[in-house]
Homo-oligomer: A and B are copies of this chain.
């Protein structure tokens, strides 16, 4: 307990932190490694819960500060879920969007949004100077679709267990 396995992706991020002139501290390494452990998106609270059990010496404020740092370096991205909560996802490419599983949180990136034509039309019609856009797609991943079928059967079988 308490041993944080260092991943290569984590080391890569630590390198970028160092390259940007920030110090390589143990707390930052913990936050980075545990953030990478999450398959999909995660909230600050999720991450802090994990940290409390795996590396209890790291404080809550440090989690928020490190998440902010990573977000400002575009290594993480803040996303919004349907219910209004915000979460973070690890960020790979420059301009991209997310396909998010509402059930398990699995997040898949995609790049080409084919929106250029729409944005040009909008700009022409409204005289807005368009600065950016934000697209998120919600659904259910293959695994959760299958699980849900099993779950229904299961709940019938062991009702009021």
Contacts and interface: CB of A to CB of B under 8 A. Distances in A.
B129 A82 contact: no
A35 to B, nearest CB: 17
Contacts of A122: 99, 110, 137
A25 B18 CA distance: 59
Interface string A68-81: 00000000001010
Nearest to A112: B118
B142 A131 contact: no
A133 B131 contact: no
A114 B113 CA distance: 10
Interface residues of A, number: 37
A126 interface: yes
28 contacts: A80-B80, A80-B84, A99-B122, A99-B128, A101-B128, A110-B122, A113-B118, A114-B114, A119-B137, A122-B137, A123-B139, A126-B141, A126-B142, A127-B142, A128-B141, A128-B142, A129-B139, A129-B140, A129-B145, A131-B138, A131-B140, A132-B137, A132-B138, A132-B139, A133-B138, A134-B136, A134-B137, A135-B135
8 A-B pairs with least C-beta separation: A127-B142, A130-B139, A128-B139, A80-B80, A133-B137, A129-B140, A131-B139, A134-B136
Given A101-B128, A132-B137, A135-B135, 12 more contacts: A80-B80, A102-B131, A108-B126, A114-B114, A114-B117, A126-B141, A130-B137, A130-B138, A131-B139, A133-B137, A134-B134, A134-B137
